[in-house]
Structure 1
């Protein structure tokens, strides 16, 4: 067998032999079972990572498998997660420890003519890599900016800086991507040929994420306008909105 290393994050090749070599070079844990649903383009996989709001991070702690939902951010081919230094994933992880990170975007419910063929339209990504603790001040700040702006683009510049105490209590982990795979299902249900004549409704229920309300905090200082991070890039300065303004719901906030 050739010792040539295949770059798993490189652009996909149209050459069948190269694509077969890529699949063969993958370790077993990084292979896609249903090949027809694999998306071989790493750029598409990174795009899904950037769209997903929550990642599930798998690791081993004291011999037990653990999976934790976490906010993630990407800078080029490095993923970042963070948490209090006392948390299990930050405190217990050693540099170069293997981790697995997954995200899924649900695009639709596939309604078939039989229970067996019901499915979902989705885009999912699995990342395998090695973790390291981020200790350099410059990289830590870049990671924290990226993580904050993943919640609302531009939010970091709108809020007060983190204090030294907050920085000292926060651990930042980097995951260097070693293998990244993407799967996608799209389109209508695929029923047994004999079932297409059945008087049973079939199709796709399209799904999308949406904002339902923007609720101001009950302790919001007077005359604070809606920030640019909530109004979108290029928006004009907004006046402070009273609680009864259309588009804003005012209710009891979380404690």
Structure 2
């Protein structure tokens, strides 16, 4: 179960909140990009970036020179992941909405210095985007690792909010001759596009080709 804190307590539409930790995992594990919120030189900054989860730890990475990563190290940050599942079209414009799944994680980000954990985090990031790719591609060199910062964020303080289903109109509006319902949004993978300089004879690996 997710514990409620002043930062994760929902103020509106509380019925859409979930305290089920499995719902948090589902939102995170099926996402591809998160948004990292930090304060840089006294100003808020929100950066889209890749991430990966191992247990109750979220890993993020970037260049050691990135301002967002430097600012996030040992600081309070906020990470969000959102899935848009559909547009909810009501009979009145006031009640238009969206179906979505979202997660918000608060905490103090930790710079990962242990080499084994750094590789664990980078593997999680790679596998989040393309499961099977970590064992297929070349591993990072020491020089590449020196240029990469990995942050770890505990999932101890997190909230989940989900909206699904049809529109909720005012009772008197249900008699209006206006179409209402949900326009689902479905994201699919396209055909893999090979690198133009890829030598002939190198087939698409199964873990990539099987995702369409």
TM-score over 0.5 (shorter chain)? yes
In the other structure, the counterpart of 2:131 is 153
In the other structure, the counterpart of 2:18 is 39
Structure 1: 5+ residue runs without aligned partners? Answer: 1-10, 13-21, 234-246, 248-255
Q: Rg bigger for which structure? A: 1
Partner of residue 120 from structure 2, selected from 98, 119, 142? 142
Partner of residue 88 from structure 1, selected from 58, 67, 82? 67
TM-score calculated relative to the size of structure 2:
0.94
Q: CA deviation at 1:173?
A: 0.6
Give the Cα–Cα distance (whole angstroms) in 1 for the partners of residues 73 and 149 of structure 2. Answer: 13
In the other structure, the counterpart of 1:199 is 177
Partner of residue 62 from structure 1, selected from 24, 41, 54? 41
Structure 2: 5+ residue runs without aligned partners? Answer: none
TM-score calculated relative to the size of structure 1:
0.79
Deviations 1:128-174 (A, max 9, x none): 11111101110011111111111110101111121121111011111
Give the Cα–Cα distance (whole angstroms) in 2 for the partners of residues 166 and 128 of structure 1. Answer: 29
- Using CA pairs under 8 Å that are at least 6 residues apart, name the structure with larger relative contact order, 1 or 2: 2
Structure with bigger strand share is: 2
How much is the aligned-residue C-alpha RMSD, in angstroms?
Answer: 1.6
SS in 1 for 2:139: coil
Deviations 1:221-251 (A, max 9, x none): 1100011221349xxxxxxxxxxxxx9xxxx
